Structure 1
Amino acid sequence: MLDHQLYVKRAELLHERITSYKDYPFHIPAVRYLEQLSFTRPVTFIVGENGSGKSTLLEAIAIAWGFNAEGGTLNYSFETQASHSNLHEYIRLARGVKRPKDGFFFRAESYYNVASYVDRLDEEPAGGRRVIESYGGKSLHAQSHGESFFSTFLNRFGGKGLYVMDEPEAALSPVRQLSMLKRMHELVQRDSQFIIATHSPILMAYPNAEIWQFYSDRAPELVEWEDTEHYIVTRKMMTERERMLQYLFDDEYEPSDSM
Structure 2
Amino acid sequence: MLASHFVQRISLRRDTVEHFDRYPFNLQAVRHLDVLEPHPKVTFFVGENGSGKSTLLEAIAVALGFNPEGGSRNFHFDTRPSHSELHAHLRIAKGYKRPRDGFFLRAESFFNVTTNIEQMDADPAPAPPVINSYGGVSLHEQSHGESFMALMMKRFGGQGLYLLDEPEAALSPQRQLAALARLHDLVRDGSQFIIATHSPILMAYPDAWIYRFDGEGVQRVDYEDTEHFQVMQTFMRDPQRMVRSLIGPD
Task: Indicate how the Cα distance of structure 1 residues 52 and 250 shifts in structure 2: closer, same or farther if over 3 A, else same.
Answer: farther
Task: Indicate how the Cα distance of structure 1 residues 188 and 3 shifts in structure 2: closer, same or farther if over 3 A, else same.
Answer: farther
Q: CA deviation at 1:10?
A: 0.9
For the 8 Å contact 2:43–2:210, the answer to whether it is kept is: yes
**1:62 paired residue number:** 61
Query: 1 CA distance for matches of 2:179 and 2:154?
Result: 12
Structure 2 counterparts to residues 28-107 of structure 1, below 5 A: 28-107=27-106
| Offset from partner CA, 1:170-198 (integer Å, 9 cap, x none) | 00000000000110000001100000000
Query: 1 CA distance for matches of 2:221 and 2:2?
Result: 18
**1:237 paired residue number:** 235
| Amino acid paired to 2:182 | R
| Offset from partner CA, 1:204-235 (integer Å, 9 cap, x none) | 0111100001112x121111111100000011
Query: 2 CA distance for matches of 1:98 and 1:3?
Result: 9
**1:177 paired residue number:** 176
| Amino acid paired to 1:37 | L
| Amino acid paired to 1:233 | V
**1:154 corresponds to 2:157:** no
For the 8 Å contact 1:41–1:210, the answer to whether it is kept is: no
SS of alignment partner, residue 214 of structure 1: strand
**1:11 corresponds to 2:44:** no
Q: CA deviation at 1:240?
A: 2.5
Q: CA deviation at 1:242?
A: 3.0
| Amino acid paired to 2:176 | Q
1:249 to 234, 247, 250: 247
Over the aligned positions, Cα root-mean-square deviation in angstroms equals: 1.4
For the 8 Å contact 2:45–2:53, the answer to whether it is kept is: yes
State TM-score, norm by structure 2: 0.97
**1:127 paired residue number:** 126
For the 8 Å contact 1:3–1:42, the answer to whether it is kept is: no
Q: CA deviation at 1:245?
A: 1.9
Q: CA deviation at 1:128?
A: 2.8
For the 8 Å contact 2:6–2:40, the answer to whether it is kept is: no
Query: 2 CA distance for matches of 1:25 and 1:5?
Result: 31
Query: 2 CA distance for matches of 1:76 and 1:137?
Result: 18
For the 8 Å contact 1:104–1:164, the answer to whether it is kept is: yes
Q: CA deviation at 1:3?
A: 8.7
Unaligned runs of 5+ in 2: none
1:219 to 207, 217, 227: 217
| Amino acid paired to 1:168 | P
Q: CA deviation at 1:250?
A: 5.2
Task: Indicate how the Cα distance of structure 1 residues 3 and 133 shifts in structure 2: closer, same or farther if over 3 A, else same.
Answer: farther
For the 8 Å contact 1:18–1:90, the answer to whether it is kept is: yes
For the 8 Å contact 1:199–1:230, the answer to whether it is kept is: yes
**1:111 corresponds to 2:100:** no
For the 8 Å contact 1:31–1:53, the answer to whether it is kept is: yes
Query: 1 CA distance for matches of 2:223 and 2:2?
Result: 20
Task: Indicate how the Cα distance of structure 1 residues 185 and 115 shifts in structure 2: closer, same or farther if over 3 A, else same.
Answer: same
SS of alignment partner, residue 248 of structure 1: helix
For the 8 Å contact 1:49–1:214, the answer to whether it is kept is: yes
SS of alignment partner, residue 214 of structure 2: coil
**1:255 paired residue number:** none
For the 8 Å contact 2:133–2:154, the answer to whether it is kept is: yes
Q: CA deviation at 1:249?
A: 2.5
For the 8 Å contact 2:27–2:52, the answer to whether it is kept is: yes
Unaligned runs of 5+ in 1: 252-259
Q: CA deviation at 1:13?
A: 0.8
